[in-house]
Amino acid sequence: MPRPARRIESVPPYLFAEIDRKRREVAARGVDVISLGIGDPDLPTPDFVVERMAQEIRDPRWHRYPDYEGHPAFRRAVASFYRRRFGVEIDPDREVLALIGSKEGLAHLIWAYVDPGDVVLVPDPAYPVYLTQTRLAGGEPYVMPLRRERGFLPDLGAIPTDVARRAKLLFVNYPNNPTGAVADRAFYEEAVAFCRQHDILLVSDNAYSEMTFDGFVAPSALEVPGARDVTVEFWSLSKPFNMTGWRIAAAVGNADALYRALGIVKTNLDSGQFTAIQMAAAAALESPEAEAFIRRMNAVYARRRDMAVQALRRMGLDVEAPRGTFYLWVPVPAGHTSTSFATLLLEKAGVVVTPGIGYGPGGEGYVRLSLCLPDERLQEALDRMTAQVRIG
């Protein structure tokens, strides 16, 4: 067997695969392990989407190769969602590209822009894809620390000018995985201005725009006047419609970035998502039931969030209640690292949480809990943690 390319060695094992291995080890000892590890909705895709899929799958037109850029009906549905939801006018023919999930699009956008030695501005902690794909492409990640004192927003003013000058991409992700932090319009204004000044493409990963609580409404980066000159936003059906398994999302924004860069990688690599799935996704976006469904889901997550925050605070953990996402970003007790605390919870309580270090060095000192499990299981996990784990 030949040795894999050197770039493969630049990538640590995918975090969730590693956690899964540890979980199986403990489960093999007969422990009923409860996972608060993975951000993947536990509730099913709504019927109004599943029923539509059942019809679309019978249409022989969809049994052939899909359109590279996505079916026009899907692109139109995304554009009208952006108009309704964000007040942003999008040209469905030039400013929307269908993706096989936004992870695919985020990764390939990096391949479309990054030559060896190019700088990519990556938050820390962050969704691991930005950093690992930058490394695979031979780029130089420049890490922007996200700190609690700044509401987990990057300090763009602290980026040295010579770094900004060499940078091609700036990644932002709000509501944020893993911290649960949110950003307001003013933050995107600052980010757009920064990217204009330094000729950088702003990449807004807006996977959680619909998952917010306590009356907070998440903006789109594209709401900022002139944003589309320098911005691509990734929007996914995965989280709002419980459709992670379907692999359907869209890239929205700058037409050149979509059709002269990302689209070039994609046409030479994949052949698009199954059109039946795109049609079902369009139906999801356009359904009169969509808004109420999302509201119900957010009520479920808000209830779980409150259960968990209350229990964790009683354990002595200084956790904030997030206004977005289904994650809690929990500071570990004194004397622990993120890994030692995660290991303790797994071994003593049979509960899987994600060590913050898995999201970058800036995640040290935290663990991430996700709320993607039934209330009873969550309560059981919290009870076990309360009983088994002595803090302070």
The Cα 247–Cα 353 span in angstroms is 25
Q: What is the dihedral of CA 323, 305, 47, 74, to 10 degrees?
A: 30
Only segment of 145-153, 181-189, 236-244, 302-310 that touches ligand PLP (CB under 6 A): 236-244
Q: Does 244 bind ligand PLP (CB under 6 A)?
A: yes
Of the two residues 207 and 261, which places its CB atom closer to ligand PLP in the complex? 207
Eight-state DSSP code of residue 357: G
**φ, ψ for residue 134 (rounded to 5)?**
-60, -45
| Main-chain phi, psi angles of 321, to 5 degrees | -85, 115
By CB under 6 A, tell whether 46 contacts ligand PLP. no
Taking CB under 6 A as the criterion, the residue among 23, 103, 135, 304 binding ligand PLP is 103
Q: Which is nearer to ligand PLP, 211 or 311 (CB)?
A: 211
Instruction: Answer whether 115's CB lies under 8 Å from 324's CB.
Output: no
Q: Is 354 in the site for ligand PLP (CB under 6 A)?
A: no
Q: Specify the stretch interacting with ligand PLP by CB under 6 A; choose among 213-221, 235-243, 275-283, 346-354.
A: 235-243
Total of chain residues touching ligand PLP, rule CB under 6 A: 14
Binding mask 165-184 for ligand PLP (x = CB under 6 A): --------x---x-------
Nearer to ligand PLP, 34 or 372 (CB): 372
Angstrom distance (rounded) from CA 69 to CA 267: 8
The CA-atom distances, in angstroms, between 178 and each of 157, 234, 331 are: 23, 17, 12
Q: Does 39 bind ligand PLP (CB under 6 A)?
A: yes
What is the Cα–Cα distance from 319 to 385, expressed in whole angstroms? Answer: 15
SS3 per-residue string spanning 211-260: CECCCCCCCCHHHCCCHHHCEEEEEECCCCCCCHHHCCEEEEECHHHHHH
338 contacts ligand PLP (rule: CB under 6 A): no
Q: Which stretch binds ligand PLP (CB under 6 A): 232-240, 315-323, 332-340, 362-370?
A: 232-240
State which residue, 207 or 346, has the beta carbon closest to ligand PLP. 207
How far, CA to CA in Å, does 283 sit from each of 19, 46, 49?
35, 11, 7
- Axis crossing angle, helix 290-314 with helix 275-286, rounded to the nearest 10: 80
Q: Is 127 in the site for ligand PLP (CB under 6 A)?
A: yes
Q: Which two tokens stand for residue 43?
A: 């509730």
In three-state form (DSSP H/G/I as H, E/B as E, the rest C), the secondary structure along 116-176 is CCCEEEEEECCCCHHHHHHHHCCCEEEEEECCHHHCCCCCHHHCCHHHHHHEEEEEECCCC
- Under the binding rule (CB under 6 A), the answer on residue 249 touching ligand PLP is yes
Choices 196-204, 219-227, 237-245, 253-261 (CB under 6 A): range interacting with ligand PLP: 237-245
CA 153 to chain centre: 16
By beta-carbon proximity to ligand PLP, the closer residue of 88 and 107 is: 107
- How far CA 361 is from CA of 131, 147, 266, 331, 357, in Å, comes to 12, 12, 32, 14, 5
Q: If residue 77 lies in a helix (H) or strand (E), which one and from where to where?
A: helix 72-86
Binding region for ligand PLP (CB under 6 A) out of 2-10, 61-69, 238-246, 272-280? 238-246
Nearer to ligand PLP, 177 or 220 (CB): 177
Q: How near is the Cβ of 122 to ligand PLP at its closest, in Å?
A: 12
C-beta closer to ligand PLP: residue 349 or 371: 371
Closer Cβ to ligand PLP, 194 or 326, answer by number: 326
State the nearest-atom distance from the C-beta of 327 to ligand PLP, in Å: 9
Pick from 220, 239, 241, 215: which is nearest to 231 by CA? 220
| Nearer Cβ to ligand PLP (238/242) | 238
Is residue 205 a contact residue for ligand PLP (CB under 6 A)? yes
Instruction: Find the binder of ligand PLP among 101, 125, 272, 324 (CB under 6 A).
Output: 101
Residue with tokens 């997030």: 322
Residue 298 as a binder of ligand PLP (CB under 6 A): the answer is: no
Q: Would you count residue 238 as binding ligand PLP (CB under 6 A)?
A: yes
Contacts of 264 (CB under 8 A, 6+ apart): 112
Nearer to ligand PLP among residue 36 and residue 385 (C-beta):
36
Point out which residues bind ligand PLP (CB under 6 A). 39, 101-103, 127, 173, 177, 205, 207, 236, 238-239, 244, 249
